[in-house]
Structure 1
Amino acid sequence: MSTQPLTSSGTIAVSQTRIVVAAVIGNLLEFFDFTVYSFFALTIAKLFFPSQDPVVSTLLALSAFAIGFVARPVGGFVLGHYADKRGRRAALTLTIFLMAVGSAAIGLAPTYETIGIAAPALIIVARLVQGFAQGGEFGAATATLLETGSAKGRGFRASWQLASQGAAALLGSGMAALLTYHLTGPQLLDWGWRVPFLAGTLIMPVGVYLRRHIVDDEPVKTERSRFEPALVRKWFLTVFAIMGMTVATYVLMYYIPTYSIQYLKMPPKLSMLVSIGAACVSLLMCPIWGALSDRMGRRKPLTVFGRVVLIALLYPAFWLMNQFPTLPVVTGLIVLLMFFYTMGSAPAYALMPENFPKHVRAGYLASAYAVAVSVFGGTAQLVVAWLIKVTGNTMAPAWYMIACVIISLGAVMMLEETGGRDLA
């Protein structure tokens, strides 16, 4: 009779592949929505945030995107604690349902021309619902990946959280590019932009089905405090460790289409191909770096080296983009930046949760991730767009990312090396 693999705590589990897919499918939906919102930000700006100044209209649309992150810390604390107390499966099922509701609401929302000020209000409410759900998604899903399967493969499994962002960006940018190539401008403005948001909701029933088959360990019962000074310190370090990762993600993968159109004067159809290249690197390289971190260690050399090189390359890369704004140059430079971004980020997806014991892992990780992404990631597109507008300098995104990644590198250096160690 065949046997099933054990989790790290000895619990019989379903296949590791199914666990990975079940854990990352919510992240896939989240970043799929981010991708299509970013690609259609200019369209959403026209339909829901009309203004005589196109740049102001875009800033308002990006503000609506960013405001969804306000609910993330609340979701991180509430749903992360829920995952630690009630189990990973219950939290993951709830989060994917709420994310799908938010996606459907955006896809079905009437425009400003139809219902006036209620239209942008609906977009904002939908983003708040998504933000609350997404706040708890990361902690529960990453804890599931970390705790399920052999100890030797933790880095590889956890890296799929970041790889799934690449898959979602590839899927979202591919769908956006397909619609842009095959529909006319009026068709895109009328109904075409809605298709990806409505299609994204189809992930929900698949995700719920898969997540119902996750085999949970019994929640850890402990008398230890959830707020030990050492844990609080690691929480702050995790926030800043995520800081550089999330800013780079949202600028290099999600803001770059808007940047390419507005400042590099590239055609919309070509600008989408840049993000497709970035997404491919994320999808292909993250599992490789994760697997290498299981052999070489989480912090050094991969995470540190990747971030140091990224810092060194950001300014010259953006300078070259502005000097030679062609598809081969811009795509090649973004791919190069993403190569070192993934090297410095994928191993950290195991490093950070491994620094917390199981009874608080999902809660601490979810809340730290939610705060970091809310304060720095969700506002990244808005901040760099604002910096360009007030300074008139198209190099502003590079300077902002450099500052954030430097701070993030310092935080990573202060976390404990956890590769090859048993989980607490």
Structure 2
Amino acid sequence: MEQNVRNKVVSAVIGNTLEWYDFLIYGFLATTIAKLFFPEKNELTSLLLALGTFGVGFLMRPVGGILIGYYADKHGRKSALLLIIGIMTLAVSMIAFAPTAASIGIAAPILIVISRLLQGFATGGEYASSTAFVIEAAPDDKKGLYGSWQFFGQCFAILLGSSVAAAVNHFMSPETLNSWGWRIPFILGLLICPVGLWIRSRLDENESYLQSKAEVTDSHAQIKQTVKQSIREIILSMGLTVSATASVYVVLVNTPTYVHTKLGLDMGSALFIQALAVMIMMFIIPVSGMLSDHFGRKPVLMTGLLILLLTALPLYHFVIAAPSLTRLLFMQFVLCVGIAIMFGPSPAAISEQFNILGRTTSMSIAYNMAVMLFGGFAPFIVTWLSSAMDLAAPGYYLMFGVIVGIFAVLNMRETSPRLWRKKSNLKQISPSV
């Protein structure tokens, strides 16, 4: 039984990793894509257009999240996961083989926008569907640990994407990169899509989902009821997701572009430092998830959030005062430790707020609304604010997201089953003491 559960978790996380690599690689190559598909006389305008298109993909995430989330509740997590990776394959192929603006003019950026909309639609259903699948497969006392592998997979996707982007930037001349080298990371993503399809086709649906569906005569009504009765939980889950998504897109996705364009640091070196920081996160996330099974989700979540709240702004000012790769490495190390501690318990903490039938729909609403509003356009916003107002804008933006997350965690239900048992045992013992 335990081996079967592990196989399900590994399969789901591998597919999740491939999915996120395909979505995020665009952000790592934003400066190159800006030149080829959004050529403008002003380089900042060109970059803002490219980053804006990165954000456009997030406009479709709530739509994709709700539709695919409902599909996953109605027809099963496995069916939804297969649908998602199929759509992503189509979107990545459009980018990988898209003619540039020099070849087809205005049609080039339009093609990129359409592909990003498709990617946003697919990714909108990914987190909730795959997380629900993993949490429902996990043993009751290990849901924090098993759920944490979801963010481990996303971090591995960031590591893979930043490493590939760093490699093409380092080993290719600017002429080669702009000519055809930029397509290689997307083609790699396209080649691994069939692997994800094969992995997910071998998954079995979880018994807990099948049992929940069998217990109701009208699954549509039950899904609707769960969502309607979970408005408070959706809002709080959205709040926690605001802090997570602000952290990802400010600290992990935007930092290489930020330090290169604003502080003059080498892009290849910045991407390498990013890879080191993400590797640190990958070690901490499972430990953090495991600790949440023993001590509760909320104490671990609060620890990570407080680290970010207290260090974000001082660290950005520290790097801005004397830009260097050493200072950048220190900043990324500290921030990524805080993010990793927060990430570990998050999948379990959010998914356990909802009933099984209606879970993916509710999670999709919370997750994708937060990501659309505070994540997708974060690189665009902080790039514009850094130019117009303050170079430390990313630090302020990150602090805002963290404060929202702290408020959400303080008001969420504690869902660690071991903590419940400890409280139950205390209640049973106390009368005889």
Same fold (TM over 0.5): yes
Matched, 1:401 2:398: yes
Match of 2:367 among 349, 366, 369: 369
Identify which range, 233-242 or 81-90, moves more after superposition.
233-242
Is 2:227–2:362's contact at 8 Å kept on the other side of the alignment?
A: no
The one-letter code of the counterpart of 2:415 is T
Match of 1:186 among 162, 175, 189: 175
Is 2:226–2:357's contact at 8 Å kept on the other side of the alignment?
A: no
Match of 2:125 among 136, 141, 158: 136
Matched, 1:212 2:201: yes
Moved over 6 A (4+): none
Q: How many Å separate the matches in 2 of 1:99 and 1:363?
A: 20
CA drift of 1:227 comes to: 5.0
CA drift of 1:274 comes to: 2.3
Is 2:15–2:199's contact at 8 Å kept on the other side of the alignment?
A: no
Identify which range, 279-288 or 355-364, moves more after superposition.
279-288
Q: How many Å separate the matches in 2 of 1:394 and 1:308?
A: 23
Q: 1:233-382 alignment to 2 at 5 Å?
A: 233-300=232-299, 302-382=300-380
- Partner SS for 1:325: coil
TM-score (norm: length of structure 1) = 0.93
Between the aligned residues of both structures, percent identity stands at 36
Partner of 2:230: 231
The one-letter code of the counterpart of 1:271 is A
Is 1:105–1:122's contact at 8 Å kept on the other side of the alignment?
A: yes
Partner of 2:430: none
The one-letter code of the counterpart of 2:308 is L
Q: How many Å separate the matches in 1 of 2:61 and 2:281?
A: 24
Cα shift readout 1:45-90 (whole Å, capped 9, x = no counterpart): 0000011110010000001110011110011110001001100100
CA drift of 1:389 comes to: 2.1
Identify which range, 362-371 or 74-83, moves more after superposition.
362-371
How many residues align structurally?
409
Q: How many Å separate the matches in 2 of 1:268 and 1:130?
A: 26
Answer 1 or 2: which has greater helix percent.
2
Q: Which runs of 5+ in 2 are unaligned?
A: 421-433
Is 1:311–1:406's contact at 8 Å kept on the other side of the alignment?
A: yes
Is 2:226–2:358's contact at 8 Å kept on the other side of the alignment?
A: no
Q: How many Å separate the matches in 1 of 2:53 and 2:165?
A: 20
Is 1:240–1:411's contact at 8 Å kept on the other side of the alignment?
A: yes
Partner of 1:419: 416
Q: How many Å separate the matches in 1 of 2:227 and 2:259?
A: 46
Cα shift readout 1:117-143 (whole Å, capped 9, x = no counterpart): 000001000001111111111111000
- Partner SS for 1:202: helix
Matched, 1:15 2:4: yes
- Partner SS for 2:126: helix
CA drift of 1:228 comes to: 5.9
Is 1:80–1:366's contact at 8 Å kept on the other side of the alignment?
A: yes
TM-score (norm: length of structure 2) = 0.91
Partner of 1:195: 184
Partner of 2:140: 151
CA drift of 1:214 comes to: 1.6
Is 1:165–1:283's contact at 8 Å kept on the other side of the alignment?
A: no
- Partner SS for 2:264: coil
CA drift of 1:264 comes to: 1.5
